[in-house]
Each structure stands twice: as C-alpha cells, then as structure tokens.
Amino acid sequence: NPDSSQSNLARLKQEMDIFLAENNFLVNFQAFAKYHDFHYKMLESKPAFAFMPDWYLQQNKQVLRLQPLLRPMRNNRSTYHKVLLTSNGARVKLGDLLGKTIAMTSMGPATSDLLNTLLFSEYQFDPKKFNIIPTPKDSDALLALTVRQVDVALVSQDNLDKIGKINPRILQIVRPLAKSKPIPLPVICVGKDSVSKESIARLKKIFLNAKRSRGSTNLMEMLQIDAWHNYSH
C-alpha cells in the first residue's frame, strides 16, 4: 500500500508473522516497498493471497484472476482522500497545472487517467500532459514539495495530518489546492485459482475476528486499520 504511512517493513513482517502464527495459519508474508517489485512478483508467481490497493485490483483483476475478499475500515470508513498541495508562496492555481511537476505515489500504468478521475475531470485536462514524478511514499512527495523540487504534491490527508503532528512547520510551508474524491482502502484478494475454499474461509475468519486476537493490536495500528469487513462493490 504506497499510501500507508508505514515504512518499517521488517517490523510489519514480524507483526504479521506473529498474528498469523497465533492463529495457526501457515502463510509466508512478504511486504513490498515499490510498485514494480510487487507487480513483477504478482505476474511471476501469483501468491495465494495479496493485500493491494483497490486501483491495482481494478487494473489487473482480469489478467491475474484476482478475487477480492476483505476490505479494511478506518474510523468507520472504507475510503480515504488525497489532497493536492503546493508551496505556500507559490503562484500555482488548480486550473493552471498543465506542464507543472506533480510528486505522488504511483497508481500503475493508469496513473494519469486516475488523476483525471479523482481530481481534474471538471477542468477537461489532458492527463497525459502532466509531468508526474513518482515517489515510493507520501513523505517523499511532501519532502520534494517543501524543498521546491516539484510544483505540487498529492498525498493522503491522513499522512499529511500525521506528518503535521510530528513537524507542524510542514503545514505552514504548504497550502491545499484541492481534495480528491473518495479512494477505496486496499483490499485482501485471493491470487491463485488453486487456493482451497477451506483456506479462503479460514483466512476470512481470522481477519474478521482480528480485533479479538492478542497478536493483532500492533499489526492493526501499523496498518492504520480498525476492523475488516467482507468485500462488497
């Protein structure tokens, strides 16, 4: 999940392994920091289960034969927002961004089209004319903006709030231009046709009951997830 604030992937793996072991579910968990590494692995070996951005599911569900199972909840919501930011003193307007540089986490090959859908459809921009600078994390996009390496940055509101609490000066340096439409939180999917119905049912039961599990507290906090629900369109 590139929009997660979690950067300590080694600890994330440790907490996930503890949670799965506590529930006697023998699955090897591997976290990925970069979109291309994750996508290559999905194409190469198709894991039994995968936790992925909803946009990745929509772009690849037919080719990879992905079946969504569970969606997380955060503060009673299954969606989040991104906010488009510019420097406080910059003369940048929302209707005049063509040719400007935009730092943001990748949304795959359809990043430009998704940008148009989420933010710019009313302006009838040609999304291919945006100069998108992909970053691994929101914090990288925000840093690029604060040091004036890019004209604007697109980051999740949750991450902006979190970074702002740690370093309030950040919020004085940037100003919002627009708020995106709701973006679905990532989903857990079945990635292989060969996974048994019993294994699928067991995984769903484990995650749906995660709040009652002693080993899930740290994991849920790291993922910024309050609960899991069955996936529905």
Neighbours of 172 (CB within 10 A): 10
Q: What is the mean pLDDT of residues 109-116?
A: 86
138-146 vs 157-166: helix axis angle to the nearest 10?
A: 60
| pLDDT, position 2 | 85
3-state secondary structure the chain: CCCCCCCCHHHHHHHHHHHHHHCCCCCCCCCCCCHHHHHHHHHHHCCCEEEECHHHHHHHHHHHCCEEEEEEEECCECEECEEEEEECCCCCCCCCCCCCEEEEECECECHHHHHHHHHHHHHCCCHHHCEEEEECCHHHHHHHHHCCCCCEEEEEHHHHHHHHHHCCHHHHHEEEEEECCCEECCEEEECCCCCCHHHHHHHHHHHHCHHHCHHHHHHHHHHCCCEEEECCC
Question: Which of the four pLDDT bands, split at 50, 70 and 90, describes residue 125?
Answer: low
Instruction: Please give the structure tokens belonging to residue 167.
Output: 């370093």
Q: What is the mean pLDDT of residues 96-103?
A: 85
Q: What is the pLDDT of residues 175-205, one digit of tens each?
A: 999 899 999 999 999 987 779 999 999 999 9
For the cut 80, the answer to whether the pLDDT of residue 96 exceeds it is no
Predicted TM-score (pTM) of this structure? 0.88
Please answer whether residues 35 and 137 qualify as being in contact, where contact means their C-beta atoms are separated by less than 8 angstroms. no
For the cut 90, the answer to whether the pLDDT of residue 233 exceeds it is no
Q: What is the pLDDT of residues 216-231, one digit of tens each?
A: 888 888 888 999 999 9
Distance CA 110, CA 128 (A): 10
Question: Which of the four pLDDT bands, split at 50, 70 and 90, describes residue 124?
Answer: low
For the cut 70, the answer to whether the pLDDT of residue 214 exceeds it is no
Q: Which residue has the higher pLDDT, 148 or 6?
A: 148
Place of tokens 């973006």: 183
Instruction: Determine whether 24 is exposed, middle or buried from the number of CB atoms within 10 Å of its CB (0-12, 13-18, 19+).
Output: exposed
What percent of the chain is predicted at pLDDT more than 90? 53
